[in-house]
Every structure is written in structure tokens, then in C-alpha cells.
Amino acid sequence: MLEISLFYIAATVALVATILAMTRANAIHALIYLIVSLLAVAVIFFLIGAPFAAALEIVIYAGAIMVLFVFVIMMLNLGEEGDAREKQWLSPAVWAGPTLLAVILFAELLYIISSVEGPVSTAQVTAKQVGLTLFGPYVLAVEIASMLLLAGLVGSYHLGRRALDRNIHEADARALSESNSNSTSDSNADKGAQ
């Protein structure tokens, strides 16, 4: 009984936090609500017998991916203008259509859930079971996912590297032209020193 009430509390927190995350105009406030929502989902995972998934949800989603989101927001430096623009985008004309469609899907989902018998499973899924399943029947999927990640890593390295090389070339060219002009006229060198 306690578990069921805990589940519903966590589920309510997750729902409220997610809705608030969508409707906040301030990006940072939205992100904080999203983090709360992820934590609530982790609690739900823990309650329905998947502690390993719960821990990974916190370590990877709340602890790493969302940090990168906040990192990007910090770089953008949105400020008041960003909030105003975001408010403009959230006009009823924009969200009414998608909401209507989502409500239809939600009604269908409720109908499906109501036809399912009781709790699906109460068994604990331990870290060992997850590992055995991942590297047993699903080893191909794991390998493909790791290749995809490696491709992403190499790609981003390449892009970053190219920008770095270009900057170095430009800096070299600038240094070269400066040293040339320095040798031709002393007045330029004085200007440079100032």
C-alpha cells in the first residue's frame, strides 16, 4: 500500500514538473523542472523494481546530459529578451492543435491501460540481469549503439579540429604579415606596441 501511494506521489511530481518544464518561458527554470521530472521518474523506476535503471537515470540523464543542456544555455546568455521571445512562441494558437491531438492519444492510452490486468510485474531487475540481457540476446544492438557513439565522437573531433587548425593558420598568417610590416616601417611597430 505504501509503495502504491509513493508511486502516485512520484508520478504526480513527474507530471507537474514536466508540464511546468514545457510552459516556463525562462530556459533555466524549465531545465530545473525537467531535472526534477527526471528524478521523479528515477524514483518510479526504483519503486517498480528497476533500481539499476533508476541509478542510471540519475547518473546519465539528470547528472550528465542535463548538465550539458545547462552548459549550452549558459553559453547562449539568453536573458530577458529570450524570455520575451519564448513567451511569444507559447501563444494558444501554437499549442492548441498539438494539445488536442495529444489528448486524443492520451484517451486511447487510458483505454488500453484500463484493459490491462493489475501490475505487470513486481520482480526486481538487478544490475546483473540487465548486464546478462544486454550482452546476451541484445549484444548486436549494444555494438551498433557503441559504433554510432564512436562515429559521433570522431565526427565532433574532426569538426573541432578543423576550426582549431584554421585559427592557427590565421594566427600564423597574421604574425607573418605583422613581422613583415614591422621590418618595413618603425612607426607601425610603435603603433603595435601601443
Residues forming contacts to another protein in the complex (CB under 8 A) are 26, 28-29, 32, 35, 51-52, 54-56, 58-59, 62-64, 67-68, 70-71, 73-75, 77, 126-127
Instruction: Output the smallest distance, CB 51 to another protein, in A.
Output: 5
Closer CB to another protein, 97 or 160, in the complex: 160
- What is the amino acid identity at position 159? L
Closer CB to another protein, 9 or 28, in the complex: 28
Residue owning grid cell 510552459: 23
Three-state DSSP state, 116: coil
178: which 3 cell numbers? 605583422
Instruction: Output the smallest distance, CB 128 to another protein, in A.
Output: 8
Contact 19, 40 (CB under 8 A): no
165: which 3 cell numbers? 587548425
Compute the radius of gyration of the chain from its Cα atoms.
27
Closer CB to another protein, 6 or 73, in the complex: 73
Question: Using CA atoms in the order 141, 146, 151, 155, what is the torsion angle rounded to 10 degrees?
Answer: 140
Residue owning grid cell 520482480: 123
Instruction: Output the smallest distance, CB 5 to another protein, in A.
Output: 20
Which is nearest to 51 in space by CA: 134, 149, 138, 129? 129
Contact 182, 193 (CB under 8 A): no
Closer CB to another protein, 8 or 71, in the complex: 71
Closer CB to another protein, 160 or 192, in the complex: 160
Closer CB to another protein, 103 or 153, in the complex: 153
Three-state DSSP state, 22: helix
Instruction: Output the smallest distance, CB 160 to another protein, in A.
Output: 12
Instruction: Output the smallest distance, CB 172 to another protein, in A.
Output: 19
Instruction: Output the smallest distance, CB 70 to another protein, in A.
Output: 5
